[in-house]
Amino acid sequence: MLLKKQVTAFLTNEPGALARVTKALAAAKVNIEGISVLENTDSGQVRMIVSSANAAVKALKRAGIGATVQTVAVLSLKDRPGALAQAAGRLAAAGVNINYVYGTACQCGCDCACNLVVSASDLKKVQSVA
């Protein structure tokens, strides 16, 4: 389990908004390692694990895009049925409230690891039970 910095960009919900974010990061040579896009009628949030949170925030600011940074946990899980259920169960047993998660899964068919990004009420507890 790793603690990582997550960058959240705040956008209007319109064509090209995600392109502006990704172009700004590409121009700054910031790699996106994980991403989740949430939307509602008027706005959207792009949550990202990136190669450099500081460089990402600076690039987004130059592009006129508001952003924040927070610490999240990145858990490595086996790509198999029940892995998420086991992790969520351990966190629940420790009394950790999960705010949200997003993740990856490998399509190679081997015994790969998946990454699960977790925002939670107590990241120290996440570390201790992960």
Looking at the structure, do residues 49 and 93 belong to the same domain, yes or no? no
Looking at the structure, do residues 111 and 89 belong to the same domain, yes or no? yes
Looking at the structure, do residues 48 and 98 belong to the same domain, yes or no? no
In sequence order, the 6+-apart residues with CB closer than 8 A to the CB of 129 are 90, 91, 93, 94, 96
Kindly report the pTM of this predicted structure: 0.86
Q: How are strands ordered across the β-sheet holding 32-39?
A: 32-39, 43-50, 2-12, 66-78, 113-120, 98-103
Looking at the structure, do residues 98 and 110 belong to the same domain, yes or no? yes
What are 74-85's pLDDT values in tens digits? 998 888 889 899
Looking at the structure, do residues 54 and 25 belong to the same domain, yes or no? yes
What are 83-128's pLDDT values in tens digits? 899 999 999 999 999 999 998 776 676 667 777 788 888 888 888 8
Residue pair 88/21 in contact by the 8 Å Cβ criterion = no
pLDDT recorded at residue 88: 95
pLDDT recorded at residue 74: 93
Looking at the structure, do residues 83 and 40 belong to the same domain, yes or no? no
Out of 71, 90, 107, a domain closes at: 71
Looking at the structure, do residues 56 and 84 belong to the same domain, yes or no? no
Enclosing domain of residue 63: 2-71
Q: What does the alpha-carbon distance between residue 112 and residue 103 come to, in Å, rounded to a whole number?
A: 13
